[in-house]
C-alpha cells in the first residue's frame, strides 16, 4: 500500500477500514543469504539497501525484542554532518544527503526537519577551532556558517550571553542539520524493506554462531537454527556481548547516556543548540517538549538507566545556558547504552571470521548515521569492499595506528 495525501482522504471518507499492517510477521526460514542481527535503525537500513540498491534477495533481520526498541527509540533525534576529520566528514555528509531524500525513497513520513544545528563558542580559541571545522565541512561539500555574537542573539535571544564563566561570543551553524522523528525512521525502513521481501523476525534472540573452519555457517537463535551465507551484526550497545559469542574482543566499552524531555511548551528553541563547554544540548520537538541531554554517566553500564549526579550536571548546564528552562517541568528521562569505541569513531568492517561482518562502535553518533551506516554496511556485505565514505572505519585501525579521534581523547571511551 502506497501512502499519500489522497490515500488519507480516501480512508478518512471510508472509515479507515483499508489500512493494513506496515510489515509482515514471518516465521524464520531455514536459510538466508544475508542475515542481519539487530532490528534497529542500522540493521533495518542495511536490509533495505541490500534489497533496493544492491538487488539482493533472501535477507532476514533478527531482532531480540521488538522492532526499533533499542537505541533508535532512545536518542535525541539529531541529524548533522559537522565533523572535521577526513575519515568522518564525507561519511556523515553522505548520511545527510540520504536523510534529505529519505522520505521520498521510503514513502514514509519521517518528519525530517532541517531546522539547523548551532554549536556555541565562548572563547577566541574555540571560535578558531570552529572556523577550522567549518572549513573542513565546506571542503567536504557540507554547509557551515560562522556566526557572530549578534547573529546568535538574533536567532536565540533567550540564551544567557553574559554568563560569567562561558559568555557566548558566536557559533558554528549548520543549517541543513536538524531533527528527525526517530521511531518513524525504524518503521519507515522496516516497511520499505519488508515490501522488498526482507523477513523481519522479532522476538528472536541470537544465542550463538555456528562456524566451520573459520567460516560462518549460521546462527543459533531462541527460534531455532538459521543457516546463512553472510551475517552482519548491527547491535550497537550490545556489540561486545554478541561478538564474544564469536570469540572476539572489541575495542569498545558500553556506557549509559541519559536524555530528558519536558512538558510541551510553545515554540521557543529554533533548532538544535549545543553548549559543549557546559555539557548540554537542546532542541524542541514538534509536540513542544524540550529534548535535551549532556554527557555520559562515565562508567561501564548495560542498565539503560543512569544516576542522579548526571541529571544534576545536565540541569546545571541547562540553567547556565538558558535560565528560562528552570520554569519547565521535566516529563521523562531515560538512558540508552552506547558502544563507546576507543577513538570515538565507528567500525564498519569484515571480521577475522569469513562471512561475519561487524557494524558498531557508534558512540553517541549512531542516529544521524543511520542511512549511511545501512548503505555502507549493505555495500560491504554485498561487494566485500568498503563503501568509499566508510573506508576508514576499520576494525584493525587501533593496531595499525589509523585512529579517527575527533576529540583527541585517546583510548578513554568515557571521555569521547
Partner 1 sequence: MIINHPLLGPRDAQEFSYLGDARLIERPDPAAPDAAQQFFDYLYLRENPAGSHRELWYHEQGDRSWLVVTRNTLTHEITEVELARNVALARGGRN
Contacts with partner 1, residue ranges (CB under 8 A)? 238, 240-241, 244, 249-254, 298-303, 307, 309, 342, 398-399, 411-414
Nearest to 286 by CA among 183, 189, 191: 183
State the Cα–Cα distance between residues 305 and 125, nearest whole angstrom: 35
Q: Are strands 347-350 and 356-360 parallel, antiparallel or unpaired?
A: antiparallel
Residue number with CB closer to partner 1 (140 or 258): 258
Shortest distance in whole angstroms from residue 244 CB to partner 1? 8
Residue closer to partner 1 (CB basis): 119 or 345: 345
Closest CB to partner 1 among residues 224, 309: 309
Asked if 227 and 275 count as a contact pair (C-beta separation under 8 A), the reply is no
Taking the complex as a whole, the smallest distance from the CB of residue 23 to partner 1 amounts, in Å, to: 29
Which one, 89 or 253, has the nearer CB to partner 1?
Answer: 253
Minimum distance, C-beta of residue 248 to partner 1, in the bound complex (Å): 9
Got the DSSP string for 39-105? -SHHHHHHHHHHHHTS---SEEEE-SSSTT-SGGGSS--EE-----STTTHHHHHHHHHHHHHHHHH
227 vs 248 by CB, closer to partner 1: 248
Residue among 50 and 342 whose Cβ is closer to partner 1: 342
Provide, rounded to whole angstroms, the least separation between the CB of residue 356 and partner 1: 17
**What is the spatial distance between Cα 144 and Cα 111, in angstroms, rounded to a whole number?**
23
Residue 256 CB, nearest distance to partner 1 (Å)? 9
Q: Least distance to partner 1 from the beta carbon of 314, Å? A: 14
Q: How far is the CB of 25 from partner 1 (least distance, A)?
A: 28
CB closer to partner 1 out of 8 and 303: 303
Three-state secondary structure of 178-219:
EECCHHHHHHHHHHHHHHCCCEEECCCCEEEEEEECCEEEEE
Contact (CB, 8 A) for 322 and 314:
no
CA-CA distance, 53 to 93, in Å (whole number)? 19
Question: Cα(365)–Cα(178) distance, rounded to whole angstroms?
Answer: 14
Amino acid at each position: 500500500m502506497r501512502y499519500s495525501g489522497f490515500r488519507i482522504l480516501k480512508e478518512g471518507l471510508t472509515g479507515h477500514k483499508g489500512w493494513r499492517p506496515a510489515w509482515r510477521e514471518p516465521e524464520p526460514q531455514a536459510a538466508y543469504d544475508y542475515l542481519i542481527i539487530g532490528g534497529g535503525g542500522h540493521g533495518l537500513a542495511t536490509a533495505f539497501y541490500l534489497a533496493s540498491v544492491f538487488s539482493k534477495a533472501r535477507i532476514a533481520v533478527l531482532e531480540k525484542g521488538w522492532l526499533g526498541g533499542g537505541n533508535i527509540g532512545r536518542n535525541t533525534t539529531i541529524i548533522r554532518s559537522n565533523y572535521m576529520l577526513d575519515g568522518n566528514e564525507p561519511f556523515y555528509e553522505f548520511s545527510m544527503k540520504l536523510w534529505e531524500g529519505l522520505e521520498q525513497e521510503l514513502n514514509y513520513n519521517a518528519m525530517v526537519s532541517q531546522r539547523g544545528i548551532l554549536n556555541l563558542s565562548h572563547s577566541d580559541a574555540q571560535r578558531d577551532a570552529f572556523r577550522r571545522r567549518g572549513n573542513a565541512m565546506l571542503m567536504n561539500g557540507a554547509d557551515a556558517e560562522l556566526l557572530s555574537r549578534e547573529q546568535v542573539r538574533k536567532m536565540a535571544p533567550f540564551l544567557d550571553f553574559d554568563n560569567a564563566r562561558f559568555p557566548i561570543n558566536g557559533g558554528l551553524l549548520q543549517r541543513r542539520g536538524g531533527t528527525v522523528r526517530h521511531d518513524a525512521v525504524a518503521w519507515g525502513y522496516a516497511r520499505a524493506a519488508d515490501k522488498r521481501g526482507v523477513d523481519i523476525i522479532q522476538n528472536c534472540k541470537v544465542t550463538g554462531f555456528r562456524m566451520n573452519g573459520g567460516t560462518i555457517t549460521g546462527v543459533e537463535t531462541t527460534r531455532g537454527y538459521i543457516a546463512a551465507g553472510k551475517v552482519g551484526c548491527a547491535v550497537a550497545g550490545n556489540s561486545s556481548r554478541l561478538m564474544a559469542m564469536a570469540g572476539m574482543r572489541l575495542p569498545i566499552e558500553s556506557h549509559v547516556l541519559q536524555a530528558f524531555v519536558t512538558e510541551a511548551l510553545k515554540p521557543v528553541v529554533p533548532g538544535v543548540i549545543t553548549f559543549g563547554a557546559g555539557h548540554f544540548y537542546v532542541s524542541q520537538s514538534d509536540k513542544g517538549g524540550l529534548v535535551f541531554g549532556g554527557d555520559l554517566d562515565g562508567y561501564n553500564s548495560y542498565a539503560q538507566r543512569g544516576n542522579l549526579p548526571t541529571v544534576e550536571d545536565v540541569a546545571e548546564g541547562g540553567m547556565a545556558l538558558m535560565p528560562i528552562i528552570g520554569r519547565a517541568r521535566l516529563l521523562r528521562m531515560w538512558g540508552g547504552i552506547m558502544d563507546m569505541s576507543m577513538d570515538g569513531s565507528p567500525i564498519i568492517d569484515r571480521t577475522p571470521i569469513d562471512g561475519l561482518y561487524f557494524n558498531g562502535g557508534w558512540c553517541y553518533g549512531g542516529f544521524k548515521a543511520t542511512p549511511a551506516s545501512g548503505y555502507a554496511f549493505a555495500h560491504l556485505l554485498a561487494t566485500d569492499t568498503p563503501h568509499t565514505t566508510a573506508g576508514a572505519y576499520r576494525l584493525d585501525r587501533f593496531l595499525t595506528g589509523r585512529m579517527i579521534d575527533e576529540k583527541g581523547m585517546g583510548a578513554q571511551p568515557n571521555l569521547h
